[in-house]
Each structure stands twice: as structure tokens, then as C-alpha cells.
Amino acid sequence: MTLKRRDFLRSATLAGAAAALPSTLQGAIATARPSSASRAVVIASANGLKATSEAMQMIKNGSDALDAVIAGVNIVEDDPNDNSVGYGGLPNEEGDVELDSSVMHGPSGRGGAVASLRNIKNPSKVARLVMERTDHVLLVGDGALRFAKAHGFKEEDLLTEESRKIWLKWKENLSREDDWLPPHDIDAADVGETMPRWERTTGTINCNAVDLKGNVSGCTTTSGLAFKIPGRVGDSPILGAGLYVDNEVGAAGSTGRGEANLLSCSSVMIVEFMRQGRSPQDACLMACERIAGRTREKRLLDAKGRPRFNVNFYAINKAGDFGGAAIWSGARFAVNTGEPESRLVEMAHLYQRER
């Protein structure tokens, strides 16, 4: 079924309406919890199953939410097989891995971020140091690298063999007019295929938590858009866009097309929607609707006027309720409310993907 713009599922968390909802929403409803008292919860993008388990284990042992989410995302940053974050992340168009990350700590109201950071596989740790050990909020590029080295971080090559091969395949197939050729038969006349913009990954992990004291924190970390122009910065390190935390309300973060989110500053809006009483899922859906409504460039829209890209949002409130929504169906998020193993929950969505 294709949903019309105005058919978006904003009121999906209403329990009474649950039976009428697509199955995509019912998982989220079934797991949403009453907001009677603050309870520990960790939520993350779908690549955060291990991250949420680790963070919850730390929270159960008494950790602050920020310590927990950073330890969680470090697992993904260190993982060579996740090519959207940290070590093994897909590089920029010149083959250099550039990382972005932000952190926000609810109890202190502080935040820190780094952008276009090279050669350091845990940008989330550097973002935290920007927060704690400078009078600034955001450091970029060479300055961020020099700051990291001053704090003892060691430079290393973040490009794995697999990521290099993916980048080389992209480069060799970028144009039939340039001098780079993919493997081909000597009889082939047309060599190279172009990769649609929409197939370039904008992975990322966002992870947010409420700890046992009811304090809220979050972290977003990414290698950004694959094959980007060097120096391109997405939404992840921009507080208010890729991450926002207010200890009185909750936290929100994003993955997906950062350019779209940068033009809407959705994370701070989601937190404000929650402050006004919206559930995390409803607040995320409202952010998706706003992005869809604000996207007017024809090249970014399909024949029905819908965004050709996806953006995903993840949110928790201080009471421990959680939810997520994406522009397009099929996305999931990871959540842990105290179990030994985290689980994946389908996200609400604006538009159903056509098969």
C-alpha cells in the first residue's frame, strides 16, 4: 500500500488505534512503555544491538548514561565490518576516511563534537574531550586531529581493505569519460556503470540512554556520506540536528541523509515536541513530515513528490518511553530496557516502500 502524504501515521502510539495500524507500527507500540516513572533505557540505530546491550549493562552497574552510550558506540567504531562508522568507514571521494561525532550530557547540559576528523577511530571519545577539556563545542579537521593527539590519541589508517575496494569500485565506475576503468572484457564497448546517489551509504550510529538516576545523554558517530567531497560535514556532529539532549525532557538523534536533517535541525525539534507532550514516536514522525514538506528540489523527489532519500530518528523521554520513525518503511532501531540481549523494533514511517 502506498500512503499519501497526509496519511502519515502521526497518531500511531495511541494504544486504542493499534489494531488498525500496519504491522510496522505495532512492534513499536507493543514495546512503548507508560511514562509513570523514570526507567533505564538505551535506544540506538539498528547497527547498535551490541552497543545498546553494552550500554545497558554499564547502566545496570551504576554508570552515567554518557559513559554508557560512548562505550556502546565504541564497539561499532572499532568494528571493521561496519562501514558507516569509525574504523572501516567508507572514505571521501579521495579515499580518506573522515569522521564526525557529537555527544551531549544531560545532567551538566554540556555538549561537544568533532567533524572531518581523520586517522582517529573513536571520534566520540574526542567529542567528549572537546566537551570536558575545552571552552568550545565543535572542533574540525586538522585542529580536531591536533587536539586528539594532544590528548594522547594515536593516528592510524582507518581504511580497511574492504572499504578501499568499495571506494575503488565507486571511483572506477564514476564516469565513462574519465581515465579510471573497472575490470572489463577486452571486447566491452561501454565500460563502467554509475552508482545512483541513493545507493551511497549514510550509515551512522546514534545511541541515547536514560540511566538509573533518570539522567539522559546521547552520542552520534559516523563516517558520513560515502565518497563525499572532502570536508563535507553531515548532521551527526551538529548539536540540534544529529543529536540533542535536554535532561528535563529526553534525547533524540538521527541517521540517514544529513543534508536534509541539517536544513530542519530535527533533533532539537523532536525534543521540543516531546516537551509539549508528544510521545517519542510521534515527535519523530513530525520531524519526518517536516523534512518531507520542506524538500522542494525536484532532483530529490520521486514522481509522486516524495523524498528519494531516507532519514531515521530515534528518541527517548526522561520517563524511559522510546520510539523511532523514518521517512520510508523498513527501518528498525535497537532497544534495551534491561534485558541481557537487545532487540530490534520496526520504526514508524511516513511512506510505505513499494516492492
Nearest to 243 by CA among 322, 316, 309: 316
Q: Least distance in Å: CB of 258 to ligand GLY?
A: 2
The runs of H, that is alpha helices, within 79-151 are 123-133, 141-150
Half-sphere exposure of residue 204, counting CA atoms within 13 Å on the CB side?
A: 32
* Residue placing its CB nearer to ligand GLY in the complex, 215 or 221: 221
Q: Phi then psi for 267, rounded to 5 degrees?
A: -65, -45
337/343 Cα distance (integer angstroms) = 9
| Identified binder of ligand GLY from the candidate list 52, 102, 208, 255, rule CB under 6 A | 255
Q: Least distance in Å: CB of 92 to ligand GLY?
A: 11
Q: Least distance in Å: CB of 320 to ligand GLY?
A: 26
* Total residue length of the chain: 355
193/41 Cα distance (integer angstroms) = 45
One character per residue 147-186, x = contact with ligand GLY (rule: CB under 6 A): ----------------------------------------
Quick check: is 134 catalytic?
Answer: no
| Identified binder of ligand GLY from the candidate list 112, 253, 258, 323, rule CB under 6 A | 258
Question: What is the DSSP code (8-state) at residue 255?
Answer: E
Tell me if 101 contacts ligand GLY by CB under 6 A: no
Question: What is the DSSP code (8-state) at residue 290?
Answer: H
Q: Least distance in Å: CB of 98 to ligand GLY?
A: 10
- Segment interacting with ligand GLY (CB under 6 A) among 39-47, 72-80, 255-263, 343-351: 255-263
Nearest to 220 by CA among 251, 243, 188: 243
Tell me if 256 contacts ligand GLY by CB under 6 A: yes
Nearest to 114 by CA among 145, 81, 72, 71: 145
Tell me if 264 contacts ligand GLY by CB under 6 A: no
* Residue placing its CB nearer to ligand GLY in the complex, 222 or 295: 222
218/206 Cα distance (integer angstroms) = 7
- Segment interacting with ligand GLY (CB under 6 A) among 25-33, 112-120, 144-152, 252-260: 252-260
Tell me if 236 contacts ligand GLY by CB under 6 A: yes
| Identified binder of ligand GLY from the candidate list 225, 325, 335, 345, rule CB under 6 A | 225
Choose the catalytic residue: 24, 52, 202, 204: 204
Q: Least distance in Å: CB of 206 to ligand GLY?
A: 9
* Residue placing its CB nearer to ligand GLY in the complex, 14 or 195: 195
Tell me if 224 contacts ligand GLY by CB under 6 A: yes
* Residue placing its CB nearer to ligand GLY in the complex, 204 or 342: 204
* Residue placing its CB nearer to ligand GLY in the complex, 242 or 280: 242
Nearest to 236 by CA among 140, 127, 100, 143: 100
3-state per-residue secondary structure call for 22-76: CHHHHHHHHHCCCCCCCCCEEEEEHHHHHHHHHHHHHHHCCCCHHHHHHHHHHHH
* Residue placing its CB nearer to ligand GLY in the complex, 111 or 203: 203
66/327 Cα distance (integer angstroms) = 28
Residue count at the site for ligand GLY (CB under 6 A)?
13
Tell me if 234 contacts ligand GLY by CB under 6 A: yes
Provide the sign of the torsion angle of the four alpha carbons 170, 175, 180, 185, taken in this order: positive
104/111 Cα distance (integer angstroms) = 4
| Identified binder of ligand GLY from the candidate list 235, 246, 282, 346, rule CB under 6 A | 235
Tell me if 222 contacts ligand GLY by CB under 6 A: yes
| CB-CB neighbours of 283 under 10 Å | 29
Tell me if 204 contacts ligand GLY by CB under 6 A: yes
For binding to ligand GLY (CB under 6 A), which residues are involved? Answer: 202, 204, 222, 224-225, 234-236, 254-258
Known catalytic residues are: 204
